Each structure stands twice: as C-alpha cells, then as structure tokens.
C-alpha cells in the first residue's frame, strides 16, 4: 500500500540567506518526512554593504490568494503555519484560507521582528495577527518580544512575566501558547514556556554559544507543524521541536560576519 505523506503548508516570507522564513520551513518539513508547500508573502534581502540591513518586499495579497488556491488543490492539508505576513491584506487572506479549508492544525508564528531588531516591522500587520489569527490558532509561538506586544505587557524579563503573557495570549483565543525565552531571556538557560490553558510546562536547555540561531523561531514553529501533521499531540510536537531546534543551533555556523543560521539537518544526522 502506498504510504500517505502528510501535506503541510507555510504562508511565509523568503529569507534568501537560507536560515529563516520559508527556506527554514521547507527544510524542516522535509526532515520530518512531510510534503511541504509554500504561499510566499514577501522577500527579505539583507545587504552586506550596509551592515546586513534588512529590506522587505511584500507581495500583492491577490498573488498570495492565487498561491493558496494552488496549494489547496492537492487535497487535505494536515497542518499549516504562518510566518512573516507583511501586510494586513495578506493576514486577512491567510485567515480566509484557514477558515475556508477548515484546516485543523494551525501554527501561528507571529513574526514581527527579525533577530537583533526590536522594532515591529509593521505595527498594523502585528495588530492584524493578534485580531485575525491568534483567535484561530491551535498553537502560537511568539518570541519574548512578540509575546510582550501581543499580551500588551510590554517588556518581559522573567519566567513569571512569560506566564502572565501566555495567559493573556490564551485569552485572545489561541488554544496553546509557547513563549520562547530563547537567547533574549537573561540567564544561563534557553527557556520556553508552554501553556495549554490549564498547565504550564517549562522547556529548558543550556544556552548555546555562539548562538547561531538565525531562523530558530521559524524552524521551531515548522517542527511543531510537522509533528502535528504526523499525528503527534501538541505537547509531543512542542517537545520534539525543542529537541530539533537545539540540535540545529548546536551545529549552527557563521554564514558571514553578520549572521549564523542553525543547521536544519543536524537532528537527523547527529542521531
Ligand atoms: N542560544 C540558544 N541556545 C539554545 N537555544 C536557543 C538559543 N537561542 C534560541 N534558542 C531556542 O530556539 C528556539 C527559537 O527561539 P528564539 O530564537 O527566541 O525565536 P525567534 O527566532 O522567533 O526570535 C527556542 O526554542 C529557543 O529557546
Ligand atoms: C522571511 C523571514 N521570516 C521570518 C524571519 C524571522 O526569523 P527567526 O526564525 O529568526 O525569528 C526572518 C528573519 O530574518 C525572515 O527573513
Ligand atoms: Mg521568530
């Protein structure tokens, strides 16, 4: 009998340097034996001549809609994620697609910033993620900064702050919330907090240095998505994703003097 390969979708931007965005998503989906598809929302370029400054070119929302028509034409999508969306119109298109296709496993990575930056790329789009996507998320995976914005609590500095933010984001409608402390939370450990509306669980590893973690957030959310597509529970998917991303950061490398991505194949190759 032919094995059914779960189809997974990412609605995300492209990071030409290969570590984050849809590049990270597709690599991760493949590592977990799922079949990855992309609706591209934006293209991010980083310029080595101006200290790796980021430039984001956003797609027309009609083009995103057309891509989603294509990705939806192959039958059931077992799980999906969103990454960088770029505009309110694209966020609306993503929501329509999730509702129209009745997709069950929806991972919302509320990308508002790229690492090393602490200004929301597009404040209106950030509000749209909160209002349109968080309420229909199976899981959302904000980093420390994004959790502060979504919860309205501002700067988060401790595990206790992360817990308060997780509760607020759960109240916005997400079934499960993971606040990633990552490198941003002070201390020796890379701590992520999982909240399912009832219990908190702390996922903790040693902080890896150098922190070759460009793309770690996208990769984490993509691994959760693939886990769900493969039939794992949310909690199992989250624990597996933490192992996957930790292995990747341990085998990360300096792409150049500005950025170091994790290595997406490390979890498989180091086993
Ligand atoms: N230096 C590090 N050592 C170990 N784990 C890390 C490190 N940096 C990030 N992580 C982990 O990578 C995942 C992504 O988190 P983070 O880098 O905060 O997200 P984002 O890329 O969205 O900013 C989390 O599981 C986080 O704990
Ligand atoms: C297209 C795109 N999506 C998402 C991100 C966020 O990446 P991270 O996984 O480091 O949060 C970036 C960062 O450069 C990006 O270029
Ligand atoms: Mg991120």
pLDDT at 234: 98
The low-confidence residues of the chain, meaning pLDDT below 70, are: 1-2, 115-119, 271
Q: Which ligand is nearest to the CA of 84?
A: 2
| Residue identifier of the C-alpha nearest atom 14 of ligand 2 | 114
| Residue identifier of the C-alpha nearest atom 6 of ligand 2 | 114
pLDDT at 103: 96
Which two tokens mark 194?
A: 């999982």
| Residue identifier of the C-alpha nearest atom 12 of ligand 1 | 216
Cβ < 5 A residues, ion ligand 3: 217
CATH number, span 7-260: 3.40.1190.20
pTM over 0.90: yes
In short, whether 115's Cβ falls inside 6 Å of ligand 2 is yes
pLDDT at 3: 78
Cα 190-35-131 angle, rounded to 5 deg: 60
Which two tokens mark 66?
A: 């057309």
CA atoms 212, 214, 216, 219: torsion sign:
negative
pLDDT at 116: 58
Q: Is the ipTM of this complex over 0.90?
A: yes
pLDDT at 113: 77
Decide if 152 contacts 137 (C-beta within 8 A). Answer: no
Domain boundaries along the sequence of the chain: 7-260
Residue 86 to residue 96: CA distance in whole angstroms: 16
In short, whether 19's Cβ falls inside 6 Å of ligand 2 is no
Write the CB contacts of 155 (distance below 8 Å, at least 6 apart in sequence): 148
């Amino acid at each position: 009998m032919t094995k059914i390969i779960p189809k997974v979708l990412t609605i995300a931007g492209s990071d030409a340097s290969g570590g984050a965005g849809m590049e990270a998503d597709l690599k991760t989906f493949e590592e977990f034996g799922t079949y990855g598809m992309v609706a591209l929302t934006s293209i991010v370029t980083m310029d080595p001549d101006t200290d790796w400054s980021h430039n984001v070119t956003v797609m027309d929302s009609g083009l995103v809609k057309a891509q989603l028509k294509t990705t939806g034409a192959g039958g059931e999508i077992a799980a999906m994620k969103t990454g960088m969306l770029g505009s309110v119109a694209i966020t609306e298109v993503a929501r329509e697609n999730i509702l129209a296709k009745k997709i069950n496993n929806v991972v919302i990575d509320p990308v508002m910033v790229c690492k090393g930056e602490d200004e929301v790329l597009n404040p209106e789009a950030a509000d749209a993620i909160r209002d349109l996507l968080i309420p229909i998320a199976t899981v959302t995976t904000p980093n420390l900064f994004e959790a502060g914005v979504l919860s309205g609590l501002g700067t988060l500095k401790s595990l206790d702050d992360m817990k308060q933010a997780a509760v607020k984001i759960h109240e916005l409608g997400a079934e499960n919330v993971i606040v990633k402390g990552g490198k941003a939370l002070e201390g020796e450990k890379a701590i992520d907090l999982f909240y399912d509306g009832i219990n908190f669980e702390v996922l903790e590893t040693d902080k890896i240095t150098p922190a070759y973690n460009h793309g770690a957030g996208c990769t984490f959310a993509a691994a959760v998505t693939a886990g769900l597509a493969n039939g794992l529970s949310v909690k199992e998917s989250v624990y597996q994703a933490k192992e996957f991303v930790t292995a990747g950061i341990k085998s990360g490398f300096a792409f150049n003097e500005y950025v170091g991505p994790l290595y997406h194949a490390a979890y498989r190759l180091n086993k």
